[in-house]
Chains A and B, each alone.
Chain A
Amino acid sequence: MAEDGYVREVYEASYRRLVAQAYAVAADRVEAEDAVQEAFARAVAAGDRFRRLDNPEAWLRTVALNVLRRRWRRASMFRALSPRLATASDVPGISEDHVAVVAALRSLPFQQRETLALFYLGDLSVQEIAATLGVADGTVKSRLTRGRTALAGLLDTTLEAERG
């Protein structure tokens, strides 16, 4: 189908970039890849409406984030009851430093993680993140500040443990 051809072009251009951003949010490769594939599947299902979008990658990012957010809420109780079973998977081959960063991200609240991912990996401005997440600019700024502070503390602790 012609629409599928267009989605395929966007898929080849944007898939890896979107997975990287979703990975920073989910801190889990399998979850991230599945959410991004779900977003592309919905793009296929949307047909011609997807072709008419001004910024298809932003649309896909929003869909993937919504998928991750919904799964995160559903999985919260499972994680609380059985944290050992809920193990996350990393992207094979990335540097040890980045594995440590993702492990630290995993410890942050979900909202801080998605804000940090959109700002640092998605290169979105504060205003664009606010529009994507449907929150005020101030909320984005405060999540960024708190996220960075918490992340700095967690990474320092990790380094000390490795040294010690």
Chain B
Amino acid sequence: MDESRLRSLGADVESKVDLPDFGAVAERGARIRRRRTAATGAVAALAVAVTAFTLTRTFDTNRSQQPIHQPAPTIDPEAARRVLTDPDAQVDTDASRVDGSGAMLAVVVVRDRTFGQTAGSCPPASQRSALRWTGRGGGTRAWVERVRRVEPVPGGFVVAAVPRPCRSDDPADARAYLVDGSGVPRGITWGRGAERVCATRPADVRCHFDVRSRHASFNAAARLPLGAVPLRTKAAGLRWARSSDSRRLYWSADGRTWRHRDTTLPAGAIVSASAAGRWGVLAGDTAVEFTSDGGATWRRRDLTSALRTVRIGDVDWTVTPSGLLLGVTQLVGRGDVLFRSTDATWSRFVETGVHTAFGLVRPVAVGGAVYVVDDQRWAVSTDGGATWRRTPPLP
């Protein structure tokens, strides 16, 4: 596509749009202000009512809810094969995930051929989809499944319940389930209060899944700091989160009390906030502030000389649980290129051979695995970026 057609659209529209009288806009703003004043009193009364209702409901839930045992889904490999072999089948790389062992759970979708015909955020009922699990050793399993959120947890994955507005009459839509380290779907035993939140939002900071015992528990006291984005490091015990602009890292041992560190890098610098295990990193292109002891001490390192062996532009950094640093940089003529430190001293960096023309994104460290997604497939490494394997293509 000629991109200049899109860019020139803005100037064309700007020159043809009239500037309406500001008085009407100001009057509209004044009406909003009056409505807010009137609503404040009503909101206060409502807040009191909601608090009373929530306290009552929490009391009732805690008193009455016993562990709930749910069955695993039924597997139909033949129907899954028909989905995977459809010429229009695609892996949805945004929805698919890799777990800490390097196993991959791919969401495979046969797209509706007409753009823009979906109702709301729910996929059309006619859309077919499947999940395909690929183990570290190359073994695969697949089953037909509606499009659901997939979340890596220690030892496997959680496949979330279908979001409420998109559910059919099938009761299986309302159930979440686990996929264990062999790629086998397993039912979940829900602990007190867990199913209500964790079945649809398994990544919630309050949810904990144990694949081995097939149990899910809920810690109602855990909270993310306001505006923070969680980082996928639950497996290490220490929880990490970042601010939306990545200039602040938060960490917590219990999910309730959080400490934080703000970067001292210049205000205009693009900062990568990354954490795994005991390592936390706030990094610009060549200057890194880091902790290797779970936030107890922070140091600063200039990587300019260590980076002499690789070409870099702007860099997105990721740290692994063993303290290796991986960077993605965009180079003119070469696209996005992934490079890594040879060890945790960060004294030498080498290219990994993983690159794409467009769409290679920042690596994600999950447990002992690190993966990177481009537009079509993943590259996964379980040795800190030394060797990589690609997801198998669809049949």
Question: Which A residues are within 8 Å of any B CB, using their own CB?
Answer: 4, 7-8, 11-12, 15-17, 19-21, 23-24, 33, 37-38, 40-45, 47, 73, 76-77, 80, 91-95, 97-98, 101-102, 106-109, 116, 120-121, 127, 131, 134, 136-139, 141-142, 145-146, 148, 150-152, 154-155
Contact = CB atoms under 8 A, between A and B. Distances in A.
Given A42-B29, A155-B1, A23 B13 contact: yes
A85 B115 CA distance: 19
8 contacts: A12-B19, A16-B14, A24-B6, A24-B10, A24-B13, A33-B17, A41-B32, A107-B116
B390 interface: no
Nearest to B34: A45
B10 A17 contact: yes
Contacts of A16: 13-14, 17, 19
B25 A44 contact: yes
Given A12-B19, A17-B14, A109 B118 contact: yes
Interface stretch (B172-180, B345-353, B358-366): B358-366
B7 to A, nearest CB: 5
B25 A42 contact: no
A42 B94 CA distance: 34
Given A45-B33, A109-B115, A151-B1, 5 more contacts: A15-B19, A101-B6, A109-B118, A121-B10, A142-B361
Nearest to A148: B1
B93 A142 contact: yes
Nearest to B116: A107
Contacts of B8: 98
A150 B115 contact: yes
A43 B29 contact: yes
A109 B16 CA distance: 26
Contacts of A95: 12
A108 B6 CA distance: 14
Q: Which of B12, B20, B119, B245 has the most CB of A within 10 A?
A: B12
B316 A91 contact: no
Contacts of A155: 1, 5
Interface of B: 1, 3, 5-14, 16-17, 19-20, 22, 24-26, 28-33, 36, 93-94, 115-121, 244-245, 270, 316, 358-359, 361-362, 373, 375
A136 B232 CA distance: 13
Q: Which of B14, B33, B36 has the most CB of A within 10 A?
A: B14
B16 A142 contact: no
Contact of B17 (A19, A131, A134): A19
Q: Which of A23, A97, A138, A150 has the most CB of B within 10 A?
A: A138
Contacts of B28: 37-38, 41, 44
Contacts of B6: 24, 101, 116, 120-121, 151
Contact of B359 (A12, A101, A142): A142
A112 B368 CA distance: 33
Q: Which of B33, B36, B116, B244 has the most CB of A within 10 A?
A: B116
